[in-house]
Structure 1
């Protein structure tokens, strides 16, 4: 992704480019610039729901209030969406899970004490989630029919609390569902800006993607995945 010349040449000879990786600000910005310079018919860019900050009814219209970890995204996202002559689309996934991967591994792999499994923060925060296979279907639908300049929040509508996730993991690990809250300041001290982002409480439905694109997420919830041993 960091080879702008290669990206530009490939983008110039293909109808569409889908950017699903997220290696960080510098590489993502140069990648987007190279694609936009090349001018493919379609450019689907991955952002993230975190840019909207905390909220219990987040939509694509919710004002941006990004935590420090992803504050850089707005500039790149808007540059892509405004590109002339390209059908640019922005997908904003929530916490992506499935097949044992993603941030959910932090929940199951957290430290254990005699009192139980340690949570990320106090556990009251909600995470807006999406199964990776459901999300893949959203990208296909966006490629096929999303309008130019449109944004879609990619979440299933299931927004568990971190405590609910931790309790499912604790039960699966033989700890009887017991969990221990972590002071939010300790989470930030341990994980930095990433920890601060994990403390943001978000709830969203992804209704626009269902209504406009006909998206129908159907996979098991993250709580169900953890309880079934998927992690």
Structure 2
């Protein structure tokens, strides 16, 4: 298949490109700044452009066999640009039966409580600053009525390959001497290894039966206090794990403080049952203690990306 992909210069999209090419697919990746140092691989073609160019998005989507939307602008314009993108794809693919796989995030569920949340329950109390993402999810799922095989993937905390929010946490802790967790750090999150997530994307693109929303998470749940204490223990010297009072965190990072203090536990039983997905991989703590974050250089990850990924 020829896949039109967004987010190829980012963490998750960059890793997913390799999986797509290894699976025999061709990839057309859009980027505001086409990478000059990226490895050259057969089947990969870069196009310069951004989400504001609806005409370009529509053309690239129409020329592809499927669309995989992973990228985001990671700024105050993220909702508007995401809306332009998904609507351009909807117009391009209407009536074709082609796959449109778009990425959401588990925080749309709000505080799940201690029990894993599946995709079928109504979302009554989404986190306010992620409510727009829930609306966009519903819009994409509704593209089924326009003859599009639309899929939403909702990952938990994405980690592995020395990248993602964990790389930013480590970099910040080394710079400040503090590995912070909000409030008591007891808010638990589901997690997914980036390689396992890439494999789910491919299953969703290839399987004609894949439709609707799929959570993407292993059975592991991780506490922010455990992440902070592990970073303090293994990425020092001189790093201490420390609570960040909720009010102070809100003043510094706004609604992301509340997200970091919210339980977000999900079940991926649907993806496993219907698509045969196996979210295997090293755990978060094993990656931190003796895995990729210890053995290789940390992948660059800016504050805006770290926030947006939560």
TM-score, normalised with respect to structure 1: 0.91
**Shift of the alpha carbon at 1:191?**
1.1
Aligned to 1:135: 197
**Shift of the alpha carbon at 1:110?**
4.2
Counterpart Cα distance in 2 of 1:62 and 1:188 = 29
1:3 matches 2:53: yes
Moved over 4 A (4+): 175-178
Summarize deviations over 1:165-211 as a string: whole Å, max 9, x none: 11211111246995221111222211112222222111223111111
1:44 matches 2:101: yes
Q: Is the 8 A contact 1:47 1:73 kept in 2?
A: yes
Aligned to 2:209: 147
Say which structure, 1 or 2, has more relative contact order (CA 8 Å, 6+ apart).
Answer: 1
Q: Structure 1 residues 51, 211: closer, same or farther in 2, change over 3 A? A: same
- Picking from 59, 62, 65, the partner of 1:12 is 62
Counterpart Cα distance in 2 of 1:74 and 1:178 = 36
Aligned to 1:180: 242
**Shift of the alpha carbon at 1:145?**
1.4
Q: Structure 1 residues 162, 87: closer, same or farther in 2, change over 3 A? A: same
Counterpart Cα distance in 1 of 2:229 and 2:122 = 32
- Picking from 135, 139, 145, the partner of 1:79 is 139
- Picking from 59, 77, 82, the partner of 1:28 is 82
Q: Is the 8 A contact 1:126 1:201 kept in 2?
A: yes
Q: Structure 1 residues 72-81 or 132-141, which shifts more?
A: 72-81
Q: CA RMSD in A?
A: 2.3
Q: Structure 1 residues 227, 17: closer, same or farther in 2, change over 3 A? A: same
Q: Structure 1 residues 199, 110: closer, same or farther in 2, change over 3 A? A: farther
Aligned to 1:69: 129
SS state at 1:58 partner: coil
Aligned to 2:36: none
Unaligned runs of 5+ in 2: 1-50, 294-310
Q: Is the 8 A contact 1:69 1:197 kept in 2?
A: no
Equivalenced residue count is: 231
Summarize deviations over 1:103-159 as a string: whole Å, max 9, x none: 2234323457xx963323321111211111110000001111163641100111211
Q: Is the 8 A contact 2:204 2:210 kept in 1?
A: no
TM-score, normalised with respect to structure 2: 0.69
